[in-house]
Structure 1
Amino acid sequence: MSAVTSLRPRRGRNVELLLLVFAVGIVTLAYAGVEAAVTGAFPPRLLAEAGGLLGIAIAFHLVLRLTASYADPLLLPIATLLNGLGLVMIHRLDLAAGKSLSSGMALRQLTWSALAVVIAIGVLLWLRDHRLLRRYTYLTGALGLVLLLLPRLPLIGQEINGAQIWISIGPFSFQPGEIAKITLAVFFAGYLVQTRDVLSIAGRRVLGLTLPRGRDLGPILLMWGASLAVLASQKDLGSALLFFGLFVAMLYLATERISWIAIGLLLAGLGAYAAYQVFGHVQDRVLLWLHAFSPEAAKVSSQLATGLMGMAAGGLLGTGLGEGRPDLTPWASSDFIVAAFGEELGLVGLVAIVFLYILLVERGFRTAIGVRDGFGKLLAAGLSFSMALQCFVVVGGITRVIPLTGLTMPFLSQGGSSLLANWTLVAILLRISDQARAPVADDDPTPVSLPVVTR
């Protein structure tokens, strides 16, 4: 009898290759359309540049064929398409500023993209089994805290737009909090796998909710305090919300206790109210949220109002790539790149981009359901939720669903640290999905865990 099941699932690598070619084709057409609309001519090196992007994507694809042949075939094409569209929009904004490809932000973003893909390939080659990360549970937790505190160090810490979340070393700047979300997700997954039985023990019932025991509230109270500490030291509402939301979500996935979500929402509300009372820039963002077009808001910032008017000008189908004026919105290449896409691609194009993120997150959660060990389930679900929460916070802030937080859109926005973190996140999900979709060996010692959420 064979050591593996006789019915092998499809690997999906040929589908992945076709989708990669399709994704690069869309990016190439968008790039050519932008150049034609702005300059009146097609790029002279269009085929060479498209071939370079396709070569990078196929190199990643070949690594997956050799080292993770059962990995999810949709993750890489979606990430490639989003990254490529981000490059096109950043180049479009460069053209509006009178900069060429060789002198603008797009070339730097392309360099970071290539470096991020190389690092993601390195992660895949090194991490042959995602369960290896569980050995470094507390080390990754300590590393996450160090990364969060780096911007507070003298000389290298840098404050931009009221938030001190950057470090600057020579000509290079980096946002260590982007990497911290991955290391903290690893820590939370390893910690909760060890302690979820204790955290699931029922306590008293209050207002129809079965609350955990008092001594088990310690971890969530500690994370609440740590989130507020990050906010207080760096004035960064977005990162505090992201880290605290990540922990509460993973806590619920590990214990399946709705009471943890209720407690988390209550503490998040208290923290937001405290931040509003203490920090002036938080009050400014609430003012922009509630009264974006008021004279008082105009004195603070015109960014949100300009972005909203740009999306309104785009309407249902958009002005067309290269035909709008997204460059009128401050920080359009980073904080407000979603508004730039909304103006030139319209509601239809923006919904298509959001759907790509939804599909990316869905594949991550499907990986979490399919993998057979508890650590992998929590890690895949945590990484997927962190991307979903970040996308919601960014799009919600730009569309006035919630106040602005200053986070950037994964893969689309300008920023090397964001690209490095999100490509690494995709590499880890690919590794976990490879084991989730691979045939089960008869002598596989991996215990079968309960689903992440069963009710």
Structure 2
Amino acid sequence: MNKTLKLEKRVLKLIYLLCLLLFTNLGLLQKPFDTKALIIGVVLCIIIGFSHYLIRRFYPEGDKFLLIFSSILAVVGIAVLYRIDPSFALKQLVWAVLGIVAYITIVVAMPDLKSFAGYKKIYMILTLVLMPMGLIFGLVTGIRTNGAMNWVYLGPISFQPSEFGKIALVLYLASALIKYESKNVIKEDFKQLIEPALVVMFSLVCMVLQTDLGSTLIFFGISVTMLYIATSKKKYVFTCLGLSAVGALGAYGVFGHVQRRVMIWLDPWKYAHDEGYQIVQGLYAIASGGLRGVGLGKGYAPDLIFASESDFIFAVICEDFGMIFAVGLMIIYFLLFYRGIRNAFVTNDAFSQLVAVGFSTMIACQTLVIIGGIFTVIPLTGITLPLISYGGSSMLTMFFALGILQKISEA
């Protein structure tokens, strides 16, 4: 048994222990003991163990820590959701299982990723269709979700098109930028980037119009990172930053919702009883938890904070488990990002390298944007904390991205 496998098994045992302790604790919160909580914990242990066994048994060469780290985050998310509302946890468990199935299916059934580099037009069409879908649906139906037009409702089914649009955008940029060749003439050099630039600008405008500022920041972060990796030219990065600054000022001057977000961010305490209430209560929850937390199920954040199961679940974690535990989760996100970026170095295929960078950046940006908003480092944007917040669209897209990263590591 090699050292890596031994380490994987040790971490898996710790995950099982964490899972059983969390859900046993949740069961003890009820009188009589809530056996349903313990059953969910046992089911999670079985799913995680079996998934790791399948990947390790049939594809032993790849990076198994992607699945391990994502499993830790999913376990914590489902446990916290059960503490908030058991119905959320049951639904999230179903989405997590579907996500892991998609993850394994990608690794088992997908051929070598380099064969997908030639489908640039398909990725572009998917991006151009998915990005404005929420906006069009919102304008036609008049339906807004928490003030944003980023959801589509089809009978009992609802989803965020922009979540799937992130996947399409990364694949499109990877397939478009692999053809970039440095030219001595600036005009010829820039001509290669016009089409990707227009697609990205279209995506960003759609997100701003939908009032989905979180996705705007994520898409921008992904695009600039992939551009720099593909071209190695800082001038393009600074050009993008300059244009984004102009665009941000323009959006601030035109859109009232952008002005409100910035206004609340600059002084949330001034608006603590109305528009800033959510942020202020989140800060109170974080302060209440201190370093070690008040204990699972003993905090008040879920009763006081709107969208505590999605946008503000990290504040609930800080209150119940404490800042030490919360920092530990942030370290796991960093390790997940690191393992993803690491995969770009194990393959010689340029398309796979850019995809690895794009998906890793997607995970990092989404984590930093939502946590930064909760701590008022940046204006609050309503997005999910990857693999922890409640949401099927987010869970599926994250596991899809991780499945691609796993496939790249098997190369």
Q: Which category describes the TM-score, using the shorter chain as reference length?
A: over 0.9
User: Does the C-alpha gap of structure 1 residues 45 and 371 become closer, same or farther in structure 2, counting only changes over 3 Å?
Assistant: same
Aligned equivalent of 1:434: 410
Partners in 2 of 1:212 and 1:89 — Cα distance?
53
Aligned equivalent of 1:178: 163
Give the RMSD, CA atoms, in angstroms: 2.3
Displacement, 1:76? 0.7
- Superimposed CA distance per residue, residues 423-447 of structure 1 (whole angstroms, 9 cap, x where no aligned partner): 1111111111111xxxxxxxxxxxx
Displacement, 1:152? 3.0
Displacement, 1:214? 5.0
**Superposition map of 1:151-230 within 5 A:** 151-154=134-137, 158-195=143-180, 197=181, 200-201=182-183, 213-216=189-192, 218-219=194-195, 221-223=197-199, 225-230=201-206
Displacement, 1:314? 0.9
In structure 2, give the amino acid aligned to 1:381. Answer: V
In structure 2, give the amino acid aligned to 1:312. Answer: A
Displacement, 1:344? 1.3
Query: 2:102·2:403 contact (CA, 8 Å) conserved in 1?
Result: no
Number of residue pairs the alignment of both structures matches: 408
Partners in 2 of 1:346 and 1:212 — Cα distance?
54
Displacement, 1:239? 1.5
In structure 1, give the amino acid aligned to 2:34. Answer: P
Displacement, 1:237? 1.5
Query: 1:326·1:343 contact (CA, 8 Å) conserved in 2?
Result: yes
Question: Counterpart of 1:160 in 2: which secondary structure?
Answer: coil
Aligned equivalent of 1:261: 237
Of 370, 380, 398 in structure 2, the residue corresponding to residue 404 of structure 1 is 380
Partners in 1 of 2:188 and 2:269 — Cα distance?
45
Establish whether residue 73 from structure 1 lines up as the match of residue 64 from structure 2: yes
Aligned equivalent of 1:105: 88
Displacement, 1:284? 1.1
Establish whether residue 239 from structure 1 lines up as the match of residue 212 from structure 2: no
Partners in 1 of 2:142 and 2:16 — Cα distance?
37
Establish whether residue 39 from structure 1 lines up as the match of residue 30 from structure 2: yes
Partners in 1 of 2:3 and 2:168 — Cα distance?
29
Higher Cα Rg, which structure:
1
Query: 1:223·1:247 contact (CA, 8 Å) conserved in 2?
Result: no
Question: Counterpart of 1:173 in 2: which secondary structure?
Answer: strand
Partners in 1 of 2:132 and 2:278 — Cα distance?
29
Query: 2:166·2:219 contact (CA, 8 Å) conserved in 1?
Result: yes
Identical amino acids, percent of aligned pairs: 35
Establish whether residue 298 from structure 1 lines up as the match of residue 281 from structure 2: no
- Superimposed CA distance per residue, residues 129-158 of structure 1 (whole angstroms, 9 cap, x where no aligned partner): 121321322212211221112213446784
Partners in 2 of 1:203 and 1:339 — Cα distance?
51
Of 106, 116, 140 in structure 2, the residue corresponding to residue 133 of structure 1 is 116
User: Does the C-alpha gap of structure 1 residues 345 and 202 become closer, same or farther in structure 2, counting only changes over 3 Å?
Assistant: farther
Greater fraction of residues in helix: 2
Of 86, 92, 116 in structure 1, the residue corresponding to residue 83 of structure 2 is 92
User: Does the C-alpha gap of structure 1 residues 212 and 402 become closer, same or farther in structure 2, counting only changes over 3 Å?
Assistant: farther
Query: Structure 1 regions of 5+ residues with no counterpart?
Result: 1-8, 95-100, 205-210, 436-455
Partners in 1 of 2:228 and 2:222 — Cα distance?
10
- Superimposed CA distance per residue, residues 248-274 of structure 1 (whole angstroms, 9 cap, x where no aligned partner): 110101111111221121122112111
Displacement, 1:51? 2.8
Aligned equivalent of 2:127: 144
Aligned equivalent of 2:14: 22
- Superimposed CA distance per residue, residues 267-326 of structure 1 (whole angstroms, 9 cap, x where no aligned partner): 22112111111111111111111111104x533241111101110111121111111112
Question: Counterpart of 2:152 in 1: which secondary structure?
Answer: strand
Displacement, 1:220? 5.9
Partners in 2 of 1:323 and 1:148 — Cα distance?
40
Aligned equivalent of 1:316: 291
**Superposition map of 1:339-358 within 5 A:** 339-358=315-334
**Superposition map of 1:304-453 within 5 A:** 304-327=279-302, 328-435=304-411
**Superposition map of 1:3-18 within 5 A:** 12-13=4-5, 15-18=7-10
Partners in 2 of 1:255 and 1:170 — Cα distance?
45
Question: Counterpart of 1:229 in 2: which secondary structure?
Answer: helix
Query: 1:311·1:343 contact (CA, 8 Å) conserved in 2?
Result: yes
Partners in 1 of 2:38 and 2:148 — Cα distance?
41
Deviates more, 1:232-241 or 1:412-421: 232-241
Partners in 2 of 1:75 and 1:262 — Cα distance?
32
Of 88, 91, 114 in structure 1, the residue corresponding to residue 97 of structure 2 is 114
User: Does the C-alpha gap of structure 1 residues 259 and 10 become closer, same or farther in structure 2, counting only changes over 3 Å?
Assistant: farther
Displacement, 1:217? 5.4
Query: 2:127·2:165 contact (CA, 8 Å) conserved in 1?
Result: yes
Question: Counterpart of 1:324 in 2: which secondary structure?
Answer: coil
Partners in 2 of 1:337 and 1:392 — Cα distance?
14
Query: 1:228·1:271 contact (CA, 8 Å) conserved in 2?
Result: no
Of 242, 252, 255 in structure 1, the residue corresponding to residue 228 of structure 2 is 252
Structure 2-normalised TM-score?
Answer: 0.92
Query: 1:157·1:165 contact (CA, 8 Å) conserved in 2?
Result: no
Query: Structure 2 regions of 5+ residues with no counterpart?
Result: none
